[in-house]
Amino acid sequence: MKFDDAITIKDIAKALNLSTSTVSRALRGRYEISAETKKLVMEYAERMNYRPNPIALSLKEQRSKAIGVVVSEIANNFFSQAINGIESIAYNNGYHVIITQTHESKEREMVNIQHLVSRSVDGLLLSLSCETTDLSYLKQLHEKGFPIVQFDRVTNEIDTHRVTADNYMGAFQATEHLIAQGFRKIGHITSTSNLSITRERLQGYRDALEKHNMSYDAGLVKHCTHGGMIYDEVEEAVESLFQSRSKVDAIFTAGDRLTTVTLSALKNVAKKYKQVGFIGFTNTNLAELFTPPVSVIRQPAFEIGQSATELLIRMIESKRPVTEFENRVLPSSLIIRESSALIPS
């Protein structure tokens, strides 16, 4: 059924007693067409509000002027902000954006990518899911020259452009900040070490401790394999950090979700303790609602989205295959609030 009253080139041709090819050429302003015919066609098209059918174009050109985005969750401020950045650039370049979520499932990830590719997206913006292990399909795609840009959660196993936040430096500064505040036993709640971001942040944390001659204790690092999707997992982590053997006086959290949920858990668990230092990676404005407001590390999500999209579109539109891949690292920013000490009610 056609609900779209969109007229086609054929309709124009018929109405004007021309051939479809003439109309097509006139519309695209080709030099072979007489100014007269051109004007005729253009005006008629304008008047009838002609729009080329994108589907037909996709079929013909084997491209769609659309880019696919694969993220774990859009209900995550980092990603929704990144998507806004992606859209802003894509939009300005005449590209359409198709967003898909993996919900951290590798099957979902695979299905989404395949679907996007078969839908002829011209390129892919990819932030890997926690689970991802088998990258062979992606690798193949990339080797065939399919434009892919990784952002945020990246892997070195596929050599593409990469755009990330400076997770290392963010974590380093965050940890130093807690140390400067006088906290001596800093716990770290993070997600699976599968993820690049997890490893980078952990390294920043370790190096900061080392710089200040504080020993690294693996027992103080809690990996939540579901990245904060499951509350109980986080609460358990928080609780274990407060157990006698390894009682921390401060906590540093790694992700948007993890930060949110840890703060919630702290409300319940930390009551028993006088003061808990806190800092976390987050792009929500949650933390300022705390009493007193806590410090956070904010990531340049919007800019990451923009940057990744620029690179992708450049790849798509360049004639020759790209061989040199960029690694853009955008600075995270430390936001220091009144106090990083949480005073339980």
Partner DNA sequence: TTGTATGCGTTATCAA
Partner DNA sequence: TTGATAACGCATACAA
Nearer to a copy of itself, 18 or 82 (CB): 82
Residue 232 in contact with a copy of itself, rule: CB under 8 A: no
Q: How far apart are CA 156 and CA 143, in angstroms?
A: 14
Q: How far apart are CA 39 and CA 338, in angstroms?
A: 66
The interface mask with a copy of itself, positions 77-106, x = CB under 8 A, is x--xx-xx--x--------x-xx-x-----
Q: How many residues bind DNA (CB under 7 A)?
A: 30
Partner whose footprint covers residue 115, from DNA, a copy of itself, none (CB < 5 to 8 Å by kind): a copy of itself
Residue 59 in contact with DNA, rule: CB under 7 A: yes
Question: Shortest approach of DNA to residue 109 CB, angstroms?
Answer: 23
Please provide the size of the chain in residues.
Answer: 345
| Binding residues for a copy of itself restricted to 130-149, rule: CB under 8 A | 140-141, 144-146
Question: Shortest approach of DNA to residue 126 CB, angstroms?
Answer: 24
Collect all residues with Cβ–Cβ distance below 8 Å to 314 and sequence separation of at least 6: none
Q: Where is 328: in which H helix or E strand?
A: strand 327-330
Exposure b/e, 123-157, CB count within 10 A at least 16 = b: bbbbbbbbbbeeeeebeebbeeebbbbbbbbbbee
The interface mask with a copy of itself, positions 2-31, x = CB under 8 A, is xxxxx-------------------------
- Compute CA distances 31 → 11, 38, 276, whole Å: 23, 10, 72
Residue 60 in contact with DNA, rule: CB under 7 A: yes
| Binding residues for DNA restricted to 211-270, rule: CB under 7 A | none
Q: What angle do CA 210, 216, 217 make, to 5 degrees?
A: 170
Looking at 64, 72, 132, 332, which residue binds a copy of itself (CB under 8 A)? 64
| Binding residues for a copy of itself restricted to 244-273, rule: CB under 8 A | 260, 263-264, 267
Return the closest-CA partner of residue 151 out of 160, 141, 162: 162
| Chain mean position to CA 127 | 5
Neighbours of 245 (CB within 10 A): 6
Backbone angles phi, psi at 303, to 5 degrees: -65, -35
Residue 49 in contact with DNA, rule: CB under 7 A: no
Q: Which residue ranges make up the site for DNA (CB under 7 A)?
A: 2, 8-10, 17-22, 24-28, 31-34, 36-37, 51-53, 56-57, 59-62
Q: Which residue ranges make up the site for a copy of itself (CB under 8 A)?
A: 1-6, 51, 53-56, 58-59, 62-64, 73-75, 77, 80-81, 83-84, 87, 96, 98-99, 101, 114-115, 117-120, 140-141, 144-146, 260, 263-264, 267, 285-286, 288-293, 345
